[in-house]
């Protein structure tokens, strides 16, 4: 069956290739402020590195005969209080000051960046411990610690910078953690988890791009502060006496300020130019990178409980965690419960759900908002928040016990054998990456294929789901396509690894009626074509009648009734099911206020029109 493309979707953008984003360096060089700052930093760095080629004077060799010598051909900037060449000390001092500041920045980020990523992404006890350690280090008087270490351990400038890096690492940790927390609940991060990507790949690809912009500003600030601290230490007479540095030049200039005030100009000027250029360049680079993204998210990994609230033991798995089930049964769920902590104990949001899904079967999970449909689906995917507790007597997927399955094993299942189609397509696509790169990543992760082969497969899939110009969409960014096309993209991504089970969470909620019908037809045709089991989470009985083979009706976390779709429409058994059916029928009079469990009408109103599958019952 060929699915026709959505009318008008090809006209969302002009035909032809989508212009590529300019490389970050190209965009940076278009900013005059950034160009000037970068040029100044390059000049300072180059003249410091090439100091031996630019002067033949020794920066640490003193000559009493040349004490405070004026500017001359021999001393282009004069000599200091002990007869050392000022220009040589300025050039060689750049090597010491810049490299020492770089050491401080490196240590700060080597400690603070991994800690921030770990605490912000995993939260829990790790985050609590790291936050406590960060608060403790920030409470310690930094300058006193620095001076004590230099006095007790070494006078080396680099030892001082290592200590300084450790002291300022809590500020890096806090910044990185805040950035990670703001993005870890994003829907596109959930989509990456559903695709089966490992935590390392999710952090590296979706978390770090959000962290990099504020981190660049932080690095520039720490670099500038480190230059100032190093200069202050040398100004106090600490540090190695055999090293030329800008701080040591300030110390000598201050001692001779009334005799030769010009000596103060050169180190002060070079320090100001360096720190100001760093700050301006970092701000320009932050603007080029686009800043941070914020949206409301929701989920993470759930906590599984091996004990069920009913007191029954979970069924014992067989070898390698597998248990025997009927050959055509794909998913078996028995007495599934999901609870959350509240002030008075724990609140149960999914209470004793039992269901099965066979290969090639579409199960509709129906109920009002808040009935526990999505919580049930997310518990199967392992996407509930950490505070959620999941228990079940049986939670088997193709014979494999999911209850308590390790994170790595769950990642291997998600995306490859269990796929997910969300209800908010645009929120589940990362705006920082092209559509093709996001679709290809799980494909390459699970199938271990090349980028070229992944692109080839995905272009075929995009065409299969009704996209007219798959190559253009593959190279586009999420903001360049419509909502209906984004939903088709996510469906293509969900089936790209030929999953056995597809969980679709109200996949047509944000779409108009015409596009809804096409998306439902697409899901059904793909299900038949690939013999997938499908769980369709919805509140629309019309969708159930058109698409589902079997229906489970949920209310307040419980399944009240489960039956074949024709049987349920023809002879609903539960009063709540009859109430839902009568409230969705056409040409009916407005109903009076209902008690959901006792006041529902016993039969459908006469003269009403049932959905088309129910009419055939």
Q: In 3D, which of 141, 236, 608, 186 has the Cα closest to residue 432?
A: 186
Length of the chain (residues)? 617
Query: Across the strands, what pairs with 303?
Result: 389
According to DSSP, residue 70 is labeled: P
pLDDT the model gives residue 159: 86
C-alpha torsion sign, points 8, 10, 15, 18: positive
DSSP string covering 405-422, please?
--HHHHHHHBTTTEEEE-
CATH for the stretch 304-417+497-615: 3.40.50.300
pLDDT the model gives residue 46: 93
Q: 602, exposed or middle or buried, with CB in 10 Å at 0-12, 13-18, 19+?
A: exposed
The pLDDT of residue 310 is above 70: no
Q: What distance in Å separates the CA atoms of residue 356 and residue 299, rounded to the nearest whole number?
A: 25
pLDDT the model gives residue 104: 92
Query: Cα 227 to the chain's mean position, in Å?
Result: 34
For residues 406-422, average pLDDT: 83
pLDDT the model gives residue 290: 57
For residues 387-393, average pLDDT: 86
Query: Across the strands, what pairs with 363?
Result: 535, 550
| Confidence tier at 228 by pLDDT (50, 70, 90) | confident
Which residues touch 574 (CB under 8 Å, ≥6 apart)? 553, 560, 561
The pLDDT of residue 322 is above 70: no
Q: In 3D, which of 428, 422, 423, 376 has the Cα closest to residue 402?
A: 376
pLDDT above 70 coverage of the chain, percent = 83
Count the neighbouring beta carbons within 10 Å of the beta carbon of residue 597.
Answer: 13
**What are the residue ranges of helices labelled H in 346-450?**
373-381, 407-413, 435-447
Q: What distance in Å separates the CA atoms of residue 521 and residue 152, rounded to the nearest whole number?
A: 75
Mean pLDDT over the full length of the chain: 78
Q: What distance in Å separates the CA atoms of residue 568 and residue 548, rounded to the nearest whole number?
A: 12
Domain ranges of the chain: 97-289, 304-417+497-615
Which residues touch 87 (CB under 8 Å, ≥6 apart)? 55, 57, 75, 76, 77
pLDDT the model gives residue 172: 92
Do the domains 304-417+497-615 and 97-289 match in fold?
no
| Residue whose structure tokens are 């248990």 | 323
Q: What distance in Å separates the CA atoms of residue 266 and residue 322, rounded to the nearest whole number?
A: 75
The pLDDT of residue 8 is above 60: no
pLDDT the model gives residue 22: 55
According to DSSP, residue 596 is labeled: T
Reduced to 3 states (helix: H, G, I; strand: E, B; else coil), residue 271 is helix
CATH for the stretch 97-289: 1.10.3720.10
Residues 446-483: b if buried by 16+ CB within 10 A, e if exposed: beeeeeeebbebbbebbbbbbbbbbebbbbbbbeebbe
| Residue whose structure tokens are 């110009």 | 469
Q: 1, exposed or middle or buried, with CB in 10 Å at 0-12, 13-18, 19+?
A: exposed
Task: Dig out the tokens for 180 from the structure.
Answer: 């990670």
Residues 498-529: b if buried by 16+ CB within 10 A, e if exposed: ebbbbbbbbbbebbeeebbebbbbbbbebbee
> Pick the residue with more confidence: 496 or 599?
496
Query: Cα 499 to the chain's mean position, in Å?
Result: 24
- Phi and psi at residue 153, to the nearest 5°: -105, -60
Q: In 3D, which of 357, 427, 433 has the Cα closest to residue 397?
A: 357
Q: What distance in Å separates the CA atoms of residue 279 and residue 34, rounded to the nearest whole number?
A: 10
Q: What distance in Å separates the CA atoms of residue 413 and residue 402, rounded to the nearest whole number?
A: 10
> Pick the residue with more confidence: 347 or 8?
347
For residues 342-365, average pLDDT: 88
Over residues 150-207, the pLDDT tens digits come to 778 777 888 888 988 999 999 999 989 888 887 877 777 877 777 777 888 888 878 8
Q: What distance in Å separates the CA atoms of residue 550 and residue 357, rounded to the nearest whole number?
A: 9
Over residues 21-68, the pLDDT tens digits come to 456 677 788 888 889 999 999 999 999 999 888 888 888 888 888 888
The pLDDT of residue 542 is above 70: yes
Q: What distance in Å separates the CA atoms of residue 286 and residue 281, rounded to the nearest whole number?
A: 9
pLDDT the model gives residue 13: 38
pLDDT the model gives residue 606: 38
Which residues touch 599 (CB under 8 Å, ≥6 apart)? 575, 579
Task: Dig out the tokens for 434 from the structure.
Answer: 């092209």
DSSP string covering 143-174, please?
HHHHHHHHHHT---HHHHHHHHHHHHHHHHHH
Reduced to 3 states (helix: H, G, I; strand: E, B; else coil), residue 289 is helix
pLDDT above 90 coverage of the chain, percent = 7
pLDDT the model gives residue 327: 62
The pLDDT of residue 305 is above 60: no
C-alpha torsion sign, points 319, 325, 328, 332: negative
| Confidence tier at 237 by pLDDT (50, 70, 90) | confident
Q: 144, exposed or middle or buried, with CB in 10 Å at 0-12, 13-18, 19+?
A: exposed
Alpha carbon distances (Å) from 45 to 85, 275, 283, 318? 20, 13, 20, 65
For residues 553-560, average pLDDT: 89
pLDDT the model gives residue 43: 93
Count the neighbouring beta carbons within 10 Å of the beta carbon of residue 197.
Answer: 23
Over residues 69-123, the pLDDT tens digits come to 888 888 888 888 888 888 988 899 888 889 989 999 999 999 999 999 988 888 8
Q: Name the E strands within 31-138.
A: none
Over residues 269-302, the pLDDT tens digits come to 988 899 888 888 888 877 776 543 333 333 444 4
Over residues 142-157, the pLDDT tens digits come to 778 887 887 787 778 8
Here the contacts of 523-528 (C-beta below 8 Å, separation 24 or greater) are 523/421, 523/491, 523/547, 524/362, 525/1, 525/3, 526/465, 526/491, 526/495, 527/360, 527/362, 527/502, 528/1, 528/360
Q: In 3D, which of 334, 368, 374, 370 has the Cα closest to residue 352?
A: 334
Q: How many CA atoms lie within 13 A of 521 on its CB side?
A: 15
Q: What distance in Å separates the CA atoms of residue 160 and residue 196, rounded to the nearest whole number?
A: 45
């Amino acid at each position: 069956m060929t699915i026709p493309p959505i009318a008008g979707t090809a006209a969302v953008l002009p035909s032809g290739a989508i212009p590529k984003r300019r490389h970050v360096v190209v965009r940076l060089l278009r900013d005059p402020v950034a160009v000037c700052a970068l040029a100044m930093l390059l000049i300072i760095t180059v003249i410091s590195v090439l100091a031996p080629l630019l002067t033949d004077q020794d920066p640490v060799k003193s000559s009493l005969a040349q004490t405070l010598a004026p500017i001359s051909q021999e001393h282009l900037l004069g000599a200091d209080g002990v007869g050392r060449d000022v220009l040589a000390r300025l050039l060689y001092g750049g090597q010491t000051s810049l490299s020492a500041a770089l050491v401080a920045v490196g240590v700060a980020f080597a400690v603070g960046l991994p800690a921030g990523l770990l605490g912000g992404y995993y939260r829990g006890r790790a985050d609590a411990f790291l936050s406590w350690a960060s608060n403790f280090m920030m409470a310690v008087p930094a300058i006193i610690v620095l001076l004590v270490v230099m006095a007790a351990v070494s006078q080396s400038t680099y030892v001082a910078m290592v200590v300084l890096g450790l002291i300022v690492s809590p500020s890096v940790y806090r910044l990185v953690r805040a950035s990670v927390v703001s993005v870890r609940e994003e829907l596109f991060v959930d989509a990456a988890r559903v695709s089966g990507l490992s935590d390392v790949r999710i952090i590296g690809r979706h978390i770090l791009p959000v962290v990099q912009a504020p981190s660049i500003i932080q690095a520039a600030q720490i670099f500038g502060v480190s230059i100032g601290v190093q200069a202050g230490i040398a100004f106090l007479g600490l540090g190695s006496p055999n090293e030329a540095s800008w701080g040591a030049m300030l110390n000598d200039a201050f001692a001779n300020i009334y005799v030769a005030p010009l000596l103060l100009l050169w180190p002060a000027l070079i320090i100001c130019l360096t720190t100001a250029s760093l700050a301006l360049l970092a701000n320009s680079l932050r603007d080029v990178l686009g800043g941070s993204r914020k949206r409301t998210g929701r989920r993470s990994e759930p906590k599984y409980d091996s004990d069920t609230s009913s007191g029954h033991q979970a069924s014992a798995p067989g070898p390698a965690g597998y248990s025997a089930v009927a050959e055509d049964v794909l998913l078996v769920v028995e007495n599934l419960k999901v609870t959350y902590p509240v002030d008075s104990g724990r609140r149960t949001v999914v209470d004793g759900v039992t269901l099965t899904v066979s290969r090639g079967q579409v199960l509709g999970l129906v109920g009002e908002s808040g009935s526990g449909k999505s919580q049930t689906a997310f518990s199967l995917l392992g996407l509930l928040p950490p505070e959620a507790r999941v228990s079940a007597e049986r939670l088997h997927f193709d014979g494999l016990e999911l209850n308590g399955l390790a994170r790595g094993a769950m990642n291997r299942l998600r995306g490859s054998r269990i796929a997910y189609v969300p209800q908010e397509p645009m929120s589940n696509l990362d705006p920082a990456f092209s559509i093709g790169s996001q679709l290809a990543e799980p494909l390459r992760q699970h199938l271990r294929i090349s980028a070229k082969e992944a692109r080839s497969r995905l272009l075929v899939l995009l065409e299969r789901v009704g996209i007219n110009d798959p190559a253009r969409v593959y190279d586009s960014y999420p903001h360049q396509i419509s909502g209906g096309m984004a939903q088709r993209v996510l469906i293509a991504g969900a089936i790209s690894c030929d999953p056995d089970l597809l969980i679709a969470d109200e996949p047509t909620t944000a779409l108009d009626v015409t596009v809804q019908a096409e998306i439902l037809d697409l899901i059904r045709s793909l299900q038949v074509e690939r013999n997938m089991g499908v769980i369709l989470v919805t509140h629309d009985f019309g969708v159930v009648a058109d698409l589902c083979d079997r229906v489970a009706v949920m209310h307040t976390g419980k399944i009240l009734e489960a039956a074949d779709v024709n049987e349920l429409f023809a002879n609903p058994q539960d009063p709540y099911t009859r109430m839902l059916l009568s409230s969705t029928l056409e040409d009916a009079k407005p109903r009076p206020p209902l008690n959901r469990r006792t006041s529902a009408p016993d039969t459908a109103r006469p003269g009403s029109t049932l959905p088309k599958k129910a009419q055939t019952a």
